[in-house]
């Protein structure tokens, strides 16, 4: 008879992270697993022996459907990187003791780069110390920066949120037309990789001009050139509405983050507090002060990773599938691997699933290819659009009550 | 035979402003009006004789359905207040000359306080100078601050966006649980009236705790008391996730805006630019610096007024109705009035429509009643919830293509 399952969620939440959890639960039911445990707040919770019985909350396919529509880590998440084994043997032994105590044989962890490092460390340790446990990674990150997989679950829904909101923002910004141009700078997540910022380009269609410029963190940012381009759009091209998408991670040629520039003088306000400004807020101020033009900024902030009301069906289904397949692979004896998505055909879109050795995945960041960044670093190419368009297709309409989406909560069902 | 119609949109856009336009068009079709003109960018466009023929873009009920799903002023908008008649007679005569030239008899204007002032000035002028034109106001403002009407079209959809996003943000913020508390401060529009900020309370339900505190601009803001409350929640009540909704218009007892406090010293950055911070950004910094707790801020910015993908059905229908009824009232001989909404019963929700003399409406701001603001100015009462709940009911699902909402554009259909 098989041992039990434990599943954890780690790193920044996504709109579809719980679809992967639903996939793990369904595969475990199918395999006749006796108990499905959840780490309450990821590996950090496990270390505190904060472990929940998932069937206290999820017992039916209706629960699974609602779970898929619930944003943000249902089990809670953490940002915790395991230390090297050497010198921390006690910590590793503690983890395995906790697993043994609950007869846990299958360990599934859903996350991005750091989380795959957790799978690597634990699966290596298990192999070297003859532990019975199997460890499988389930990819998840809105940043889309995991290697070996064509793309990451969570990215498609974030891209759909960004592209939908961009269409609406561009409309809003275009509605003032008689007076001077209005510049709107939109800040998008992604400290090192520009995948999320690139998705702003998906808004361009027959009914929307799309953003005027898109700046990814892969390309060093030049403030003077940026201001020159704004002036060109306003004065030479007579544009009344200018909308620019910028990554929060833009850096100057010398390596400094743009978002840090606003605070170099350690400005202290009337109450003795230091002020910080984001990348878009900083650039909007720069534009107004250098050109006299009206500017404003919008930060999508965590909305882009938690807006389950705008989840993509394609993304939610793939998130479910990688969760299901990771559990299935563990039950079949695999360990130290991450499930990946391959795309057989982009049009019509046909995906398939595989798995890769976790050593080829952990701690590697995949960036937007240089050749996809065009127009002197101010836009993305059709290759990007062809790559990303299938990820935002379809909706997962929320269950509603009183005009608002309903979410599954950790209120116990049985006792 | 009746003369022609002209319709204009004014002030900040809303998610359902074009439903009112659809109502005007439908009523004009029904009345057999020959030409339906649109002011391109409101009264400012009219003064430039920038007038469009609406049937260049909208000719069928399918077009009307798509128009209702299109956010932001379809015709373009403006912020323009007519000057007093005295000394500006030429300007007023110019407006009536333009209207006469196109045989326009019915003038419909959709907006908030300033726009109703436009209706007042023009209808008064017409009466005193024996002009044939009739002027009717159509209420619209996400701020919900027009008097005489129970509520304003545009508010319900903004409230639905805010409450939906709050549910998702609270989920997101709760997902980190092991380490120190995280404080998230969410900034909501509304410089003088707290209606929009109050709608954050709608997120509270069986599956969501709602925001911990809600600060409206109606109550003077005390930074020390605010920080004390955060410390109490974190230390005494051991809350791991603290979410606070604040109005962008919060002011101290002495009248200064909180958002201005960050810039009193005229901070100049490394590039010679002055930095600005919003209310929430400022308060998040204050919290971290005084308590050492982790904080972040979210600004809904213009997303709350343009997110048509989350429009409320109740709001969209009412916006359509006030547009239709304003046109009908004008055709029946009314002038110098605004259509209003009355609520016959809040549960079940039954509304009706009336109209009021524009002099009772223009330039008056309606605020949240004092008795609805409770807990020492940090929350809103059940009276508010009972008032607002009906406004967010139902959806207007966008038409979609490629995973994104489709919008109607000003591309000519016929020629």
Nearest-CA neighbor of B282 among B321, B255, B252, B253?
B252
List, for residues B140-166, the tens digit of each pLDDT value.
999 999 999 999 999 999 999 999 999
- Test B175 with A261 for CB contact under 8 angstroms: no
- The secondary structure of A139-175, three-state, reads ECCCCCCCCCCCCCCCHHHHHHHHHHHHHHHHHHHHC
Average pLDDT, chain B: 94
CA dist B65 and B205 (Å) reads 32
What is the arithmetic mean of pLDDT over B47-64?
97
Partner residue opposite A406 with nearest CB, options B207, B269, B285? B207
Q: Which CATH number fits domain A155-306: 3.40.640.10, 3.40.50.720, 3.40.50.460, 3.40.190.150?
A: 3.40.50.460
- Test A264 with B270 for CB contact under 8 angstroms: yes
Test mutation, B269, B270, B284, B313, chain A, max A CBs within 10 A: B269
Query: A4-141+311-362+395-405 has which CATH code?
Result: 3.40.50.450
CA dist B99 and B5 (Å) reads 9
Burial of B414 (0-12, 13-18, 19+ CB in 10 A): exposed
Does A91 contact chain B (CB < 8 Å)? Answer: no
Q: Report the residue of chain A nearest B171, measured CA to CA.
A: A72
- Test B169 with A408 for CB contact under 8 angstroms: no
- pLDDT confidence of residue B267: 46
CA dist B279 and B247 (Å) reads 8
- Test B306 with A282 for CB contact under 8 angstroms: no
- The pairing of strands A51-53 and A36-39 is antiparallel
How many angstroms separate the Cα of B163 from the Cα of each of A400, B177, B208? 13, 23, 11
The residues spanned by each domain of chain B are: 4-140+310-363+395-405, 155-306
Q: Compute the half-sphere exposure of residue B372: CA atoms within 13 Å on the CB side of its CA.
A: 19
CA dist B158 and B71 (Å) reads 12
pTM: 0.96
Given a cut of 50, whether residue B415 has pLDDT beyond it is no
**Encoded tokens for A351:** 């995906």
Burial of B371 (0-12, 13-18, 19+ CB in 10 A): exposed
List, for residues B237-273, the tens digit of each pLDDT value.
999 999 999 999 999 999 999 988 875 344 455 555 5
Distance from CA of B2 to the nearest CA of A (A): 31
- pLDDT confidence of residue B33: 98
Test mutation, B50, B51, B171, chain A, max A CBs within 10 A: B171
- Test B223 with A263 for CB contact under 8 angstroms: no
Q: Is residue A138 within 8 Å of residue A152, measured between CB atoms?
A: no
To which H or E segment does residue B114 belong? helix B113-128
Q: Report the residue of chain B nearest A156, measured CA to CA.
A: B403
Residue in this structure with the two tokens 């306003």, named with its chain if needed: A234
What is the arithmetic mean of pLDDT over B389-396?
97
In the stretch 271-330 of chain A, residues with CB closer than 8 A to chain B read: 271-277, 281-282, 285-286, 289-290, 296-299, 301-303, 305-310, 312, 314
- Test A289 with B305 for CB contact under 8 angstroms: no
- Test B178 with A78 for CB contact under 8 angstroms: yes
Q: Return the SS3 of A114.
A: helix
Partner residue opposite A13 with nearest CB, options B44, B172, B298? B172
List, for residues A132-182, the tens digit of each pLDDT value.
999 999 999 999 999 999 999 999 999 999 999 999 999 999 998 767 789
Residue B182: strand pairing partners: B241, B294
**B-chain residues near A184 (CB < 8 A):** 302
CA dist B211 and B380 (Å) reads 11
Say whether B269 is catalytic. Answer: no
CA dist B51 and A130 (Å) reads 80
CA dist B299 and B52 (Å) reads 35
- pLDDT confidence of residue B264: 39
- pLDDT confidence of residue B265: 40
Partner residue opposite A76 with nearest CB, options B169, B175, B308? B175
Partner residue opposite A404 with nearest CB, options B50, B164, B305? B164
Partner residue opposite B175 with nearest CB, options A72, A184, A286? A72
Does A177 contact chain B (CB < 8 Å)? Answer: yes
Which CATH class for the B4-140+310-363+395-405 domain? alpha beta
Are the folds of A4-141+311-362+395-405 and A155-306 the same? yes
Reported ipTM: the value is 0.95
**Number of A–B residue contacts, CB under 8 Å:** 266
What is the arithmetic mean of pLDDT over B372-392?
98
Residue in this structure with the two tokens 């001077």, named with its chain if needed: A180
Distance from CA of A8 to the nearest CA of B (A): 12
């Amino acid at each position: 008879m098989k041992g039990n399952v434990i599943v954890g969620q780690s790193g920044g939440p996504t709109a579809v992270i719980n679809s992967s959890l639903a996939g793990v639960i369904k595969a475990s039911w199918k395999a006749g697993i006796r108990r499905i445990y959840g780490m309450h707040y990821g590996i950090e919770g496990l270390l505190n022996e904060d472990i929940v019985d998932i069937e206290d909350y999820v017992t039916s396919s209706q629960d699974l459907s609602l779970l898929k529509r619930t944003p943000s880590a249902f089990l809670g998440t953490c940002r915790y990187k395991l230390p090297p084994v050497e010198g921390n043997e006690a910590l590793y032994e503690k983890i395995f003791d906790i697993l043994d105590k609950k007869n846990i044989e299958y360990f599934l962890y859903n996350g991005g780069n750091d989380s795959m490092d957790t799978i690597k460390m634990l699966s290596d340790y298990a192999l070297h110390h003859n532990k019975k446990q199997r460890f499988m990674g389930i990819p998840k990150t809105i940043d889309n920066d995991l290697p070996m997989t064509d793309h990451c679950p969570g990215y498609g829904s974030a891209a759909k949120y960004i592209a939908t909101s961009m269409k609406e923002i561009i409309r809003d910004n275009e509605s003032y037309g008689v007076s001077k141009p209005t510049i709107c700078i939109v800040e998008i997540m992604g400290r090192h990789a520009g995948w999320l910022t690139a998705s702003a380009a998906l808004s361009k269609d027959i009914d929307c001009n799309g953003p005027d410029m898109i700046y990814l963190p892969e390309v060093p940012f030049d403030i003077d050139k940026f201001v020159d381009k704004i002036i060109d759009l306003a004065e030479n091209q007579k544009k009344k509405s200018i909308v620019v998408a910028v990554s929060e991670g833009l850096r100057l040629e010398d390596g400094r983050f743009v978002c840090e520039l606003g605070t170099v003088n350690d400005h202290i306000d009337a109450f003795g507090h230091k002020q910080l400004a984001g990348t878009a807020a900083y650039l909007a101020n720069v534009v107004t002060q250098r050109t006299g033009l009206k500017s404003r900024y919008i930060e999508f902030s965590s909305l882009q990773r938690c807006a389950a009301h705008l989840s993509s069906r394609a993304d939610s289904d793939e998130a479910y599938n990688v969760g299901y397949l990771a559990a299935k692979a563990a039950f079949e004896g695999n360990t130290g691997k991450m499930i990946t998505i391959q795309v057989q055909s982009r049009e019509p879109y046909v995906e398939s699933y595989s798995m890769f050795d976790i050593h080829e995945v952990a701690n590697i960041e995949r960036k937007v290819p240089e050749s996809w960044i065009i127009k002197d670093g101010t836009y993305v190419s059709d290759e990007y659009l062809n790559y990303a368009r299938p990820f935002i297709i379809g909706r997962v309409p929320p269950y509603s009550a009183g005009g608002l989406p309903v979410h599954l909560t950790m209120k116990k069902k049985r006792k």
